Amino acid sequence: MSDLPTSARAVVIGAGIVGNSISYHLSELGWRDLVLLDKGPFPNPGGSTGHASNFIFPVDHSKEMTALTLDSMRQYQDLDVFTESGGIEVARTEQRMQELHRRMSSAHAWGIDRVSMVTPAEIKQMVPFIDETILLGGFSSPGVGVVDSLRAGTIMRERAVAAGALTISANTEVLGVDVERGRVRRVRTTRGDIETEVVVVACGVWSPAIAQMAGALIPLTPAVHQMIDIGPVPRFASSTRHIEYPIVRDMDTFMYERQDGIGLEIGSYAHRPILHDPEEIPSIEQAALSPTELPFTQADFDKQMEDALELMPEIVGDESVGVKYAINGLLSLTPDGMPLLGETHEVRGLWSCAAVWVKEGPGIAKAVAEWMTHGESEIDLHSSDIARFWDHQKTRAHVRARTSEGFNKTYGIIHPSEQWASNRDVRLPPFHARQRELDAVFFEAAGWERPHWYESNAPLLEEYADRINQREAEWDARWWSPIINAEHLAMRDRAGMVDLSAFTIFDVAGPGALEAVQGVAVRQMDVPVGRVVYTPVLTPGGGFKADLTIMRLDDELFRVVTGGAHGPADRKWFADRLPQDGSAQIADLTSAWTTLGLWGPRARDILGSVTRDDVSHEGFRFGSCRTIEIDTLRVLASRISYVGDLGWELYVPIEQGQKLWDVIAEAGRPHGLAPVGIGVYGTTGRLEKCYRAYGFELESEYNVCEAGMAGPKVKDEDFVGKQAHLRHRDEQPAAIMCTLTVDDHTSASGVKRYMLGREPIQTRDGQPLTDSRGRRSYVTSAGAGPSVGKHLLMAYLPPEQAQVGAELAVEYLNERYPVTVAVAGSTPIFDPDNERIRS
């Protein structure tokens, strides 16, 4: 064991699968003088890796998670620690059967074709000790396997050491992480101090405690996952391999059963959520087994034993098979179930690589190492970026509330639009009281309560009865209302007002402000004061980091407006790239300003009736902004639109928001103004206009040219991703963003079905579409286009298919529906000449 160096390029804390793996990947990317610490011994320091069940099911509805898992599997295979066993997710209920069909489609969307639906009889053949009579079917994934995660970590650690890049130190406890001027300076340990500017927190359930030492918040909670091992199983006595039968996930009981040598391991996510505090985890000395293997609480597992007995009576019911091992294993849970990756907001140089499970560990470690090295990773990590959390979402109480609610969803059937029930009503816009009066149905975004539609608009259903489809299938209609389409049509016909309080708003100000925004935005930012610029923001590799609008309010003052969910990440992206000399500063005004959108053919009439300022087409051009007086309010009005209609975003100090709402609502009454929810703003309005959305169409894995958003020319000034962007402009795009319409919604059983997004696009005969960069075509966004009378899908298609009129198919819940390419590129399907917004 080497002596601890006194300084290091980076210190990785935690030697589980994540810490070992990230040490290795950093060394592969050329990092030297790395130190890997753990307070426990090698190779098993006592964290969650040591008791992990170590199996991997690759298919997830999340594209990001699936990509990370697949990459991890490749790495495990390369390390020769992967044993393919196959796996079957079984269904006991019809709802679960539909969910398994959905998994088939997700598998196809993410490029996993070695999957199939299997009948109970086929399940019985593969898993002879199962009682197939209680099953309706299963989703078979032959690529499922088991890994030796401790071995994998050891190999990777040893490789990094052998490369001369890494010093390792077991039994070294971190006592403190010193921060100076917002940046990591050193790590203090029981074996001495290490000066460093980069620290990676890869300590699993202990991560919040370590981050806290530096004053940063990593919002996860240690939670119990119960598992038992029973044996010896007579049927397994002659097994020559550790696992010879497919792993079974009994999805409806939230359990899994897998062979483990001569034993059968039974794990559960069905019990009550049992959460711990990171500070409460026992020390290695205090723990009877290991700090993350806590005493088993039998009562919580009684029901699960009955369920296991029902599924596998031959083994579980065998009186000679004993419960040999039973633990309450600790694992990490986060408020939204995704990992916590990236540099923390609070402390520069302090990277979180936490809440990562064995199945995705090496892939995540590789991606984070790339991010640390290049500023981006090959796999887009935006759903795992720790910056997705606002401060209130990092509180202990919020984390506990959401993880308690989320724990039993581990094997749950989660609707893509599913809303959380716990800890709601945290961020309330000034319009909230009015919205309640209007029976708004609230969805949550970045902690904000946003009306998704207004029940008070139900009378519009009658008005537009002939243009609105009901959705026949409960799944398609869940978290949805036809009122959304009615609101949409009312806006298109007259006007709608939209609560946009969830916008993230920050100012970039100072002598260096122009330089600051210019260096980040793709579009020219040196525009006259009073102009609004919608611009992509790129990663160094030319992929999408964000899309947002920037108002030039003064020579040295730019106001950036972006979405709520990705706002903190976008703000950090700007903040990290401010001029070194301090000549520009960022001020977050999200909680200072509220925004009300007003759009529709009557928008000018309505606004004109409450302001003396010139809001004529000529007097207030599209793409401009300025302060106007509305009633007794001074309002920053910005004439842009994300729904493709004439109108403005109206910004007022937050405490004056309700007054603005009342004034506009009153003025709009004679014009038939309707309050309109995010269902219109975020889906139907933009889809008809083929407007892209970050996190859906726009990801770092796609570039501006593919998205059809390249401007006529590239500005002279440098900006992040410019070189790559110039290269992309010279290339033939590998895929082109298209809008497709569904030709026939009728399923095999005669029910009209409506895609919700993330489904694979295929040829009419079911062949997958893969572009020259190996990316599958899938639906990035789906929704109604009420004005065009079609269900619309957006998808990147290879150039051969990206032709208007091309006949393709979409796979939804494992059935194919015919679709046709309506638009290739960014021409809107509704109002293609953009006459409305420019009227």
Partner 1 sequence: MTLVYVEHQDGRPDDASLQAIALVREITGGAPLHALLAGPGAEDAAAGLGAHGVATAHIAEHEALASHAPVALARCIGELIERLSPAAVAAAGSERGNEVLAHAAALGDLPLAANCVAAEAGDPLTVTRIRWGGSLLEDARLHGPVKLLTVAPHTVEAAEVGAGPATLERFTPSLADADLVVRVVETVEQSSEGGVNLADARFVVSCGRGAGSPEGFAPAEELAALLGGAVGCSRAVTIAGWRSHTDQVGQTGTKIAPEVYLACGISGATQHMAGCKGAKRIIAVNVDPEAPIIANADYAVIGDLHEVIPAITAELRKAGAG
Partner 2 sequence: MNILVCAKRVPMTGGTIVLTEDEQSIQTRHLGFTISPHEECGVEEAVRLIEANGGESVVLALGPSEAEEQLRDAMALGVDRAILLETADEVDGQATAAAIVAAIEAERAAGVEFDLIFFGNESADSGNYQVGIRVAHALGRPCVTGVKGITVQDGRARCEQETASGRDVYDVPLPAVITVKEGLNLPRYPSVPGRLRAKRKPLAASAPERRDAGVEKLRLRLPPGQGKQAEILGHGPEAAPAVVEVLRRAGLVT
Candidate residues 213, 217, 316, 810; the one interacting with partner 2 per rule CB under 8 A: 316
CA–CA dist 637, 553 (Å, integer): 11
Task: State in angstroms the smallest separation of the CB of 498 from partner 1.
Answer: 59
Compute the Cα dihedral for 232, 235, 237, 241 and give only its sign. Answer: negative
784 binds, among partner 2, partner 1, none (CB under 5 to 8 A by kind): none
> Using CB under 8 A, which residues numbered 294 to 313 contact partner 2?
294-296, 298, 302, 305-306, 308-309
The reply to whether 474 sits near partner 1 by the rule CB under 8 A is no
The yes or no reply on residue 230 touching partner 2 (CB under 8 A) is yes
Alpha helices by DSSP H, 44-133: 63-78, 94-109, 120-126
Specify whether the CB–CB gap between 47 and 283 falls below 8 A.
Answer: no
What is the C-alpha to C-alpha distance for residues 203 and 207, in angstroms, rounded to an integer? 5
CB 717 within 8 A of CB 514: no
Alpha carbons 276 and 281: distance in angstroms, whole number: 7
- CB of residue 42 to partner 1, shortest distance in Å: 8
282 near partner 2, rule: CB under 8 A: yes
Q: How far is the CB of 343 from partner 1 (least distance, A)?
A: 31
Rounded least distance, CB 152 to partner 1, Å? 18
Which listed option, partner 2, partner 1, none, makes contact with residue 298 (CB within 5 to 8 Å by class)?
partner 2
Report the run of H or E that residue 149 belongs to, with start and end. helix 149-162
Measured from the CB atom, is 42 or 390 closer to partner 1? 42
Select 39 or 725, whichever has its Cβ closest to partner 1.
39
- Give yes or no for residue 318 binding partner 2 (CB under 8 A): yes
Nearer to partner 1, 29 or 323 (CB): 323
Q: Is the peptide bond before 232 cis (omega within 30 degrees of 0)?
A: yes
Alpha carbons 108 and 120: distance in angstroms, whole number? 22
* List 171, 239, 408, 747, residue binding partner 1 (CB under 8 A): 171
Residues 6 or more apart whose CB falls under 8 angstroms from that of 173 comprise: 39, 189, 190
Residue reference for tokens 């572009």: 771
41 binds, among partner 1, partner 2, none (CB under 5 to 8 A by kind): partner 1
Near partner 1 by CB under 8 A: residue from 117, 274, 284, 654: 284
Nearest distance, CB of residue 299 and partner 1, angstroms: 24
Among 94, 180, 285, 730, binds partner 2 (CB under 8 A): 285
Piece of 40-48, 251-259, 458-466, 726-734 that binds partner 1 (CB under 8 A): 40-48
Give the residue with the Cβ less far from partner 1, 287 or 693. 287
> Quick one: 165 exposed, middle or buried, by C-beta within 10 A (0-12, 13-18, 19+)?
buried
Smallest distance from partner 2 to CB 308, Å: 7
Contact 738, 796 (CB under 8 A): yes
Enumerate the β-bridge partners of residue 89: 139, 249
Residue carrying structure tokens 């320091």? 45
User: If binding means CB under 8 A, how many residues of this protein chain bind partner 2?
Assistant: 27
| Coil/strand/helix, residue 187 | strand
Q: Which does 317 bind (CB under 5 to 8 A by kind): partner 1, partner 2, none?
A: partner 2
308 binds, among partner 1, partner 2, none (CB under 5 to 8 A by kind): partner 2
Residue placing its CB nearer to partner 2 in the complex, 326 or 633: 326
**Is 37 within 8 Å of 169 (Cβ atoms)?**
yes
DSSP string, 515-541: HHHHTTBSS-----TTBEEEEEEE-TT
Span of 2-10, 284-292, 421-429, 780-788 interacting with partner 1 by CB under 8 A: 284-292
Q: Toward partner 2, which CB reaches closer, 46 or 568?
A: 46
- Pairing mode, if any, of strands 593-599 and 495-499? antiparallel
Q: Distance (Å, rounded) from C-alpha 762 to C-alpha 107? A: 13
Q: How far is CA 668 from CA 126, 649, 673, 839, in A?
A: 65, 15, 5, 19
CA distance 785 to 117: 33
Q: Pick between residue 325 and residue 696 the one whose CB is nearest to partner 1.
A: 325
Active site residues: 225, 256, 547
- Tell me the closest approach of the beta carbon of residue 171 to partner 1, in angstroms: 5
Contact between 173 and 42 under an 8 Å Cβ cutoff? The reply is no
- Residue 657 CB, nearest distance to partner 1 (Å)? 58
Binding site for partner 1 (CB under 8 A): 40-43, 170-171, 284-285, 288
Binding site for partner 2 (CB under 8 A): 1, 230, 280, 282, 285-289, 294-296, 298, 302, 305-306, 308-309, 316-324
